[in-house]
Amino acid sequence: MNDERPALSPAFRIASIAILAAVTTVLTRVVQIPTVARGYINLGDVAIVFTALTFGPFSAALSGGLGTALADLLSGPFAFWAPISLVVHGLQGLVVGVIAAARPTNIVVRIIAGVAGMAIVAGGYFVAGGFITGWGPSLVDVPANILQGGVGVVLGILLAIAVARAYPPVRQWKW
């Protein structure tokens, strides 16, 4: 078996990231449950975890950050969170992808990667929210961010497994 992966063109990478960012935006916008500190719970983490596990850390960082930031901009009252979402979810995608790359098919490593991503999201929004809305409301939002992250980890892992089984060549598209 040949271990060399086919080279992916820059156009393919750009198109993939654009599509994944759009999917992240849609999943972030489909369900928006408001939280105490003026944020909202959404399904965007599903797309970020899926992308990190399937396409790698750089795709997840770009599509996750851009997709959630765009969703915030399109959400009217949440637009001021866009720069924070760009950084927090971009970092989430990067870290999940880097950790999972150590042993890409090991479910325990995937779960650890997802939990690290959850910690980044909960911690990032706690700190940002503390400065924006106050430390009390921001602390109250931590469980909501952990819930959102947990759902994202479980569904993102399941989706990554299902896609890899249904279309094995996708395993070669990491960068």
* CA-based nearest residue to 29, from 20, 15, 19, 41: 41
Residues 123, 91: Cα–Cα separation, whole Å: 12
Burial environment of residue 49 by CB neighbours within 10 A (0 to 12, 13 to 18, 19 or more)? buried
* CA-based nearest residue to 122, from 136, 142, 99: 142
Model-level pTM greater than 0.85?
Answer: yes
| pLDDT 10s digits, 118-166 | 999 999 999 999 999 899 989 999 999 999 999 999 999 999 999 999 9
**Domains in the chain: ranges and CATH:** 10-167 (1.10.1760.20)
* CA-based nearest residue to 174, from 61, 16, 56: 56
